[in-house]
Amino acid sequence: MPLSGRWTLTRYLIEERRRFPGASGDFNALILDVALACKAIARIVAFGTLADTVGATLPNGMGGEVNVQGEVQKPLDVLSNEIFVRMNEWNGHLAGLASEEMEAPRQIPASYPRGKYLLVFDPLDGSSNIDVNVSVGSIFSILRAPQEVIDSGRDVTEADFLQPGAAQVAAGYAIYGPTTMLVLSVGNGVAGFTLNPNLGEFVLSRADIRVPEQTQEFAINSSNSRFWEPPVKRYVDECLAGKTGPRGKDFNMRWIASMVAEAHRILMRGGVFMYPRDTKDPAKPGRLRLLYEANPIGFVMEQAGGRASTGRQPILGVKPGALHQRIGVVFGSKAEVERIERYHHEPPPSEAPAPLFAPRSLFRD
């Protein structure tokens, strides 16, 4: 691994490819096309409401519709999705694409060759924050297409994308903030690349990123506290109790409402992020999307030495049941996530043994 700042993304990928002498180069080319899409989106996001000055004016009526998630699309959601599609469907590396903004998988047009990978993405995560100038980003995941799809060249179906997160061959995100960064894992740790505006290239700026093991920060939307399950409430209450509580230290609470921004902060300085399953809407087992958000961020966290979980089991082990499946998400510093998992598996207080027979009882040694 080189010293930070010495390698471009292209050189980094070439060095990684040398670990696999038989590799064709399709994988590297696909990631570079994803990076190019992120550069284009970063430029448009940076202009904000002045986007028309860079030729990004949207046709009348684009945006404002409700997507498959039941969310009102902002114009930049639509444009970002279109950028991802157009910059990746032509290259011959993909068998198909799936996006948070599209109800069904996107087929590769007949005029283009088809490849052996699937691209899954959230083109503009946290877009509701653009109006208040908070960091947003793009999240992506790369899977291998089923061999039958590669051999037959048939159109992809929803079922082809329903692979557990552990099957990802690469995942990452771009964050559009004071600087634009691309954070990437190709299954060999996590590296961060900063967009050099003078070169127009992503340059390695953080090699071998590791989630700090110790933390005193947690992120959760406390307005939902009345809907939390008891293990989550217990964890948060213990953090809020500070030095005089069972944790013996003070915690800070963060909440940005942009998953990319939350994940980036945790990668840089530790912490735990929680968007857990709750009782607010019993029809939805969680808020975040498994394929577009939880799996790619979970892959990055695990590769960086952290942990990603539903609160009950590892995220990367969940077998998706639908393209737009939602799920509860907890990720960050490993010890904190494991503590939350342990609370979910312990008996709730109402099922705990009576104090008379507890370890600190009349019958203790």
User: What letter represents residue 252's amino acid?
Assistant: N
pLDDT digit of tens for each residue in the chain (365 aa)? 454 448 999 999 999 988 887 777 899 999 999 999 999 999 999 887 676 555 555 545 455 566 655 566 678 899 999 999 999 999 999 999 999 999 999 999 999 999 999 999 999 998 877 778 889 999 999 999 999 999 999 999 999 999 999 999 999 999 999 999 999 999 999 999 999 999 999 999 999 999 998 899 999 999 999 999 999 999 999 999 999 999 999 999 999 989 999 999 999 999 999 999 999 988 888 999 999 999 999 999 999 999 999 999 999 999 999 999 999 999 999 999 999 999 999 887 665 454 554 555 444 44
Element (H, E) at 243: none
* Domain ranges across the chain: 9-206, 217-349
| pLDDT of amino acid 324 | 96
Measured distance CA(166)–CA(153) in Å, rounded: 25
Give DSSP secondary structure letters for 74-97. PHHHHHHHHHHHHHHSSSS-EEEE
AA identity, residue 297: I
Beta strands in 57-179 (DSSP E): 94-99, 106-107, 117-125, 136-144, 170-176
Superfamily assignment of 9-206 in CATH?
Answer: Fructose-1,6-Bisphosphatase, subunit A, domain 1 (3.30.540.10)
Give the pLDDT confidence of 181-197 residue by residue, as tens digits: 999 999 999 999 999 99
- Give residue-wise pLDDT tens across range 241-264: 999 999 999 999 999 989 999 999
CATH number of 217-349: 3.40.190.80
User: In whole angstroms, what is the distance from residue 67 CA to residue 122 CA?
Assistant: 13
Per-residue buried b or exposed e for 248-284, using 16+ beta carbons within 10 Å of the residue's own CB:
eeebeeeebebbbbbbbbbbeebbbbbbbbbeeeeee
**pLDDT for residue 365:** 47
What is this structure's pTM? Answer: 0.90
Q: 10 Å Cβ neighbour count for 127?
A: 21
Angle at Cα 340 formed by Cα 316 and Cα 345, nearest 5°?
A: 85
